[in-house]
């Protein structure tokens, strides 16, 4: 059964992987044999994460390297892809996890600059990365793309409305890429986390009223932890998920039900 989840020899880029959900995904993939790229804006934090993963994987084939990148810069994304090819040889798995949400409040009050930043970083950068890696995946007739969306992409919000709009777009982006490139054995899927205890979501889970509302509607009566996301990504990237394409796996403790 373990062979179903074996990622030995696979090369993976995971954006926003120095902490939180991205770190969980990178570590889980490396522990299952993949060579992973730890990438976020700060090289020192990336290196700390890579060192931690390499220590955990010292007796196995998995490993982590560091390639810092600012996802808001298309040239930086191109550098990330090319440097990965130089250091690892190819890209078998792309995980678009990095995202931003610089505004908390009514959608009617969001400044244009903040709205554009959300759309650029949460949708356009994912689309750009997909464009960059798909040609080699199509040529090999093998590849796997995972975009980390959110249950916010399925629901409205009175405080993070623009963010939810961007995450809804990510779900549809996945469906379109899956539809077009599935015939080349390039699978594209989404993971939609609920409220997870990350720095990124701190404004939500540290707010007593929001937390109470979230827990009231969550059958497991707790928020999630970052390490509970890695397994879903390993499933989607491995042979275990070989016939899953264009799907959104919800990891939310039952909130959306």
Catalytic (active-site) positions: 163
Neighbouring residues of 26: CB distance < 8 A, sequence distance ≥ 6: 12, 14, 17, 36, 38, 49, 53, 64
CB atoms within 10 A of CB 72: 15
Cα separation, 80 vs 71, whole angstroms:
9
Quote the crossing angle between the two packed helices 161-181 and 112-119, to the nearest 10°.
30
CB atoms within 10 A of CB 140: 13
CB atoms within 10 A of CB 206: 10
Contact 221, 122 (CB under 8 A): no
CA nearest neighbour of 66 among 21, 24, 14, 31: 14
Half-sphere exposure (CA, 13 Å, Cβ side) for 151?
18
């Amino acid at each position: 059964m373990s062979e179903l989840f074996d990622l030995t020899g696979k090369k993976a880029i995971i954006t926003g992987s120095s902490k939180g959900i991205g770190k969980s995904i990178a570590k889980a993939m490396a522990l299952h044999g993949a060579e992973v790229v730890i990438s976020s804006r700060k090289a020192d934090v990336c290196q700390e994460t890579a060192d931690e993963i390499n220590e955990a994987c010292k007796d196995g084939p998995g490993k982590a390297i560091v390639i810092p990148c600012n996802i808001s810069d298309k040239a930086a994304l191109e550098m990330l892809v090319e440097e990965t090819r130089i250091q690892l040889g190819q890209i078998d798995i792309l995980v678009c996890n990095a995202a931003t949400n610089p505004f908390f409040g009514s959608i009617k009050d969001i400044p244009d600059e903040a709205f554009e930043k959300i759309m650029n970083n949460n949708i356009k950068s994912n689309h750009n990365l997909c464009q960059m890696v798909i040609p080699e995946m199509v040529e090999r007739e093998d590849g796997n793309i995972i975009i980390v969306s959110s249950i916010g992409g399925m629901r409205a919000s009175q405080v993070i409305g623009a963010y939810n709009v961007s995450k809804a777009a990510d779900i549809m982006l996945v469906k379109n890429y899956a539809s077009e490139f599935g015939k080349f054995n390039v699978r594209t899927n989404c993971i939609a986390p609920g409220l997870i205890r990350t720095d990124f979501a701190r404004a939500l889970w540290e707010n007593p009223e929001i937390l109470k509302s979230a827990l009231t509607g969550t059958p497991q009566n707790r928020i999630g932890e970052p390490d509970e996301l890695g397994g879903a990504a390993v499933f989607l990237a491995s042979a275990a998920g070989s016939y899953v394409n264009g799907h959104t796996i919800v990891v939310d403790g039952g909130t959306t039900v």
